[in-house]
Structure 1
Amino acid sequence: MAGDWIKMRTNLWNDPRVSRLVDLTDTTEATVIGGLYWVWATADEHSLDGAMPGLTLRAVDRKTGVSGLADALVDVGWLEDHPEGVRLVRFDEHNGASAKTRAQTAKRVANHRSNCHVTDQALQDEHGSVTDALAREEKRREEKKEGEKTARASRLPADWQPSFEEIEFCRAERPDLSPESVASQFRDYWIAQPGAKGRKADWMATWRNWVRNQRGGAPKGAATAGQQTANSVKEAQRLIFGGHDAAV
């Protein structure tokens, strides 16, 4: 939500990834870069971290007018597809207020280096101010990241129930588990966690990790129902025939 301009590289036209996008969409560099402009400008205006809830891959194709662009962006690593909406990769390096501040700072550094005609003292003073500006910018960027991460984190609701997608993930990833039992353990554990430990920015990802790390539904080496029946039959035969195999 940074406002009225975005950062785009002047050599973007010759970027190998743009060439890859052109091949995947069977269009031209001008068409692809126009689509990229819409994607990046929209993210800059409506997102703080690159996530755009509700925006699907199909919507990106429709908005840009470039069929297959969204899948191509995923292919080159510039976009990620999530159930809740697409997300720009490494958003804070290229978009948002921090990216603009870094661009302006870099410009000041370039101007400083080009001022070869000024006195040594002036250069030292300017160098100090530029170095300080870079350090302050880096500190602001780290603080902003931490602040946004904390602001996005939330506690698990006391009445939480797994969604259809979460249940299906459990069944597909760990068919040996009972989704209802796993959900009950998940809810009890995280509701009981105090402070920052009980706050998460992405509960869906937390659920997926929880499911993957669960122990098996049955103890290791435990016999199945069929095996137990077969063992019972063998034991009965042993008692009846006195240790000899039954006639077949």
Structure 2
Amino acid sequence: MAGEWIKMRTNLWDDPRVSRLCDLTGCTEAAVVGGLYWLWATADDHSADGVLVGMTPATIARKTGVPNLGAALAQIGWIEEIDGGIRIFKFDDHNGVSAKSRAQTAKRVASHRGNGDVTPPALQEPNAAVTGALAREDKSKTKEEPPIPPKGGDGPEDTGAGKPTRKAAVSLKTFLEECRKAGEKPILKDDPVFAYADQTGIPDEFLKLHWLEFKERYCLPDAKRYKDWRSVYRKSVRGCWFKLWYLRADGACGLTTQGEQAKRHHGKDE
């Protein structure tokens, strides 16, 4: 359809992972980037969640004319083979309606920067809807959130009639300190993540490497806070957030380029 487009980074040509794809396929950046364009455009047309049913790594190589491109993409952790097709990782970051909306918003923000119409909240909320010329926030209409009531209490009002106290989100550093004081392991030995790793064939050393990467990333000063860090860790393993491993053709797990880099980086801690 005329007017359709996909989001591609201008610095993709110089991305080290593209260089790795060139090494794995024996092709130039022009051929590899062209192949990526075909794959992402096809996914944008035929998928809503990054899953392309019926496609295989061999299909990608045949369609793009770039030998071994599909297998190379799986090796660096950009796609994975699933039952009946392939899945593109982080599809929503660059494809689909939401990604295009964010890209258009960023462009409008840039075009209005410096004219006094852009407020800090507009810049800090990438998924927020933007209308007109990104008008200033009307603080007079902002509702003040009621304070969270303290836990417990002396009167009959605190016996369950009101809303339960919400658990506050904390940093990973705070959570680790709380575990230390309580004499608990951050990830308990009966945590479901271990059963999941056994079921999917993720080796213990890969799980440990993932924890080291998880701990380093989320102990940064500007890292997110969560209410349940054990649940977040389980989700990070199931989603392979750091792209440290991939499933080989024989079904075993192998380290991706990111995984090898993390292994070297954390080698001093092992």
Structure label with greater radius of gyration? 1
TM-score (norm 2): 0.44
